[in-house]
Structure 1
């Protein structure tokens, strides 16, 4: 149908739009209410969708919770956006299935082709897919248009992804380490490993630029494995170091890697091959990455924990993990996100998180400590460990080896 619509637009000098409609978090409907209710919700939504489009428009289900609307003819992006708003409004009221009221939200991506466009049906569909991905990336329940800015951004991502693959293959990456300090004794507890990328031209590529790009594909698995292997190699080198011989190092693991079948072997294999004790490795996962498949994530992390690898939840407080979810997870360390530490009005919340962590038998680390007052305050609230620029910025392994912890009147910091 889309091919026919594009041919008509070309022949008649008209414009066609594709609207990629995706139900947000529909998996939760199936998980909570069962697939029979989920199927009934999809049927009810499809009826509402048909009622929201115009007479000449076409609608179809791509599969699962994804639908496609072909709007033709249409007066450019503005009218396409108007159609999208009507579709979004179609789920403003909950869907009633038996005695259940199901609330939905939609992410909608729009791509437009006018008579002068040479886009094929597959290319137009791809552009709409890019737009709906952007809508989900920006928080879901929104409408996004595939425009020149988005296409340029995708082009830049493709370039960076290719360069990152080369960087992994040619070992252009390096690891930096940031100390985590015992809040009471001011001793070094562990280090967090943080990846850094210095391009051949000498420019540093920020992690918050290349890591999200890697996370869009299985490239993140290569990146995670590179990190784990290099950290294990570093632990081997530190084995006979007087201060670092038994230090533990935390590595950040992506949600995509956690979901992969190879995850457990990818972690245990390098430790076994290098004959490094699993107690020297901490696996950090962010709160949000656990929720896509909580049961599977908990099972895999429990397998690692049974081998004496500690498990930390990073950036806690920024996601939507319930207390029930936390209780089902193997948990050794809870890391409070820096935004709460640096917000003076969040003191009660910080105290609550610390108490929850202790209630679950976990140690609590406060991230983003930049001042003596912050360190003293969260320690008074019960934080077990501290991490932040007050003590040290992330640094190369050779610099870590030259550092030592010394006590000063007001605080403890790393010095050379």
Structure 2
């Protein structure tokens, strides 16, 4: 009952050892899933992936010593078990040691391979009885929570996780029905030129009104869609709908792209098909991505963005000012535009240090030949500040709230001289 690649005991051995553990003692199990292992196989080949598995197995042996048993369950999944007093505490220490070790790339010959680990922990207290399958299920659920909460962490199983998973499964089913029955809607928030206040672009924003009348925001259902894989179908629907709506407006269109979409190797080809089907000019499309989309799998993201740019589509870094993007990071990904986060804009009006940060961000963008948009502008003072700071475009409720496609068309028709672009009315909010 040994894994042939790593020479560690396998899944059957783990079940056997749990069942044979002395009754009355505390037992703890850790389920370990490697973060980014698929990327390693894609970039370097399965031979390097196999060597990495062997190296991780050796790291675990060293961390566990004679105190705990290490197993390879298959693929990039490992487990560690421990029996005895303080088993849970000691096991957590081993797992945190693994995460700390993997915070640095693993050296294989002349390569330094970035890899991480997400860990789920479950225990059977002294005097209690749990089947091995249930103990592993709990550790698996906890590992899923570690993945969902950002990876590279340890999470202990809690009973509430099961209740949360049931709610997530229900929401996933509802999302599938929503896509089938076209319950989603796309609203658009205009961006205006900072000096002329003419509408120059719109950002597509996804809305979901459930059959019971409740509105759910993307911050609630998009993470669920990412986990289930449904995000690719929803994202394609949004792109197709937005390109169809905006085709006749003659202005730029921005669409948000999630990390899961960017990791999908088929995404650039899917985007090309949508542009061809709808006839939308690629030079009028901008894809907005956040820093998180890039740091999880930077090599995969860079490859996808190169293909996207090959179509003639621009890439925008959204929510700038909330993460840790460096000049090197910005140069690596060569964004066409930076979008200053609302919090940076609002706080810069009352905090000199943040104002200096905003000004330096704009100067840096200029040096890298990027345009700059300020979002979340709600007052004339904020609009004047970002305009004088050098922002090209402004987005916010001072000018327009998100609106259905028909209202965008009305503004562009009613407020624009023949052949011109719409001019926003300061302070006007359109529901």
TM-score computed with the length of structure 2 as normaliser = 0.79
Does residue 234 in structure 1 map to residue 245 in structure 2?
yes
Q: 1:25 deviation in Å? A: 7.0
Does residue 385 in structure 1 map to residue 393 in structure 2?
yes
Aligned in 2, Cα 1:264/1:91: closer, same or farther, shift over 3 Å?
closer
Aligned in 2, Cα 1:29/1:47: closer, same or farther, shift over 3 Å?
farther
Correspondence for 1:109 among 87, 96, 120: 120
**Residue pair 1:288, 1:320 contacting (<8 A) in 2 also:** no
Aligned in 2, Cα 1:255/1:120: closer, same or farther, shift over 3 Å?
same
Aligned 1:212-361 pairs, distance under 5 A? 212-236=223-247, 239=248, 245-343=249-347, 344=351, 345-361=353-369
Partner of 2:410: 402
User: Which runs of 5 or more residues in structure 2 are unaligned?
Assistant: 1-12, 416-421
Partner of 1:242: none
User: Which runs of 5 or more residues in structure 1 are unaligned?
Assistant: 240-244
SS at match of 1:395: coil
Equivalents in 2 of 1:62, 1:379: separation in Å?
A: 57
Partner of 1:7: 19
SS at match of 2:161: helix
Equivalents in 1 of 2:242, 2:181: separation in Å?
A: 17
Does residue 167 in structure 1 map to residue 162 in structure 2?
no
Equivalents in 2 of 1:40, 1:354: separation in Å?
A: 47
Aligned 1:48-67 pairs, distance under 5 A? 48-51=62-65, 54=67, 57-62=68-73, 66-67=77-78
SS at match of 1:402: helix
Aligned in 2, Cα 1:253/1:119: closer, same or farther, shift over 3 Å?
farther
Q: CA RMSD in A?
A: 3.6
Aligned in 2, Cα 1:197/1:117: closer, same or farther, shift over 3 Å?
farther
Aligned in 2, Cα 1:102/1:307: closer, same or farther, shift over 3 Å?
closer
Q: 1:141 deviation in Å? A: 4.9
Equivalents in 2 of 1:262, 1:384: separation in Å?
A: 33
SS at match of 2:255: strand
**Residue pair 1:406, 1:413 contacting (<8 A) in 2 also:** no
**Residue pair 1:186, 1:412 contacting (<8 A) in 2 also:** no
Aligned in 2, Cα 1:371/1:218: closer, same or farther, shift over 3 Å?
same
Q: 1:156 deviation in Å? A: 0.7
